[in-house]
Amino acid sequence: MAHDSSDATTVWQKLKAGVPAPGDGPVAAVFRCADAGISSETVFGQSAGALLDVSTWGHTVDTSVLASLEYAVEALGVPLVVVLGHDDCPAMTAALRAWQQAQLPDGAMRAAVEHALLSVVRRGAAADSVASVASAHIVETGLGLTQRSPALARRVDRGECGIVCATVDPADGTIRVHATLGVEETNGVLVEMV
């Protein structure tokens, strides 16, 4: 199913406004943090099945995440991927603690925290709050999806799919967009694909 970038922008505008999607399959894929405490459907005012939901702790990207997102855009033809973080994220809190106090968790959680720290360095962001770490990490994760998935990158480059990198405040549902690829956003945070 072919889409153009206006489809991604239209879907994003409807999701932000909480306009219910028609019930014939997902309209977007949402890659969210597993400990958000609020479902993607609740954030965007959607019913079950309107969003293909993929979640990991700290937005850790692995083969299953890439396969799920590629399935969404290629097999299901969704024109939008939303990388959705949240303000009170324990993974980003752990990353901020690691940055400020050199305290890293053990095991696999360590890799997720290290990935978030690399996002801060790559973005040249201030690591002075959980929100600043989350913002940098969400943007780097969105960009990283196109770097790690040629299928997703091709769709974005051809204007058949867009990516929105945003965070939500679970307390009041406020959504802040930090970057977009192939999606027009009114707050001027467009990230161009080269």
Residue that is written with structure tokens 């309107």 in the block: 50
Query: Got the DSSP string for 73-130?
Result: IIIS---EEEEEEETT-HHHHHHHHHHHH----STHHHHHHHHHHHHHHHHT---SSH
Helices and strands (H, E) in the chain, number of each type = 7, 5
Continuous segment of H or E residues that includes residue 166: strand 162-168
In the beta sheet, which residues pair with residue 166? Answer: 84, 177
59 is in an annotated binding site: no
137 is in an annotated binding site: no
- Residue 82, SS3? strand
In the beta sheet, which residues pair with residue 167? Answer: 85, 176
Inter-residue contact 182 to 159 (CB < 8 Å): yes
Tokens of 37: 């405490």
| Other Cβ atoms within 10 Å of 131 Cβ, number | 17
CA distance 60 to 105: 15
89 is in an annotated binding site: yes
Q: Which residues are annotated as a binding site for Zn(2+)?
A: 33, 35, 86, 89
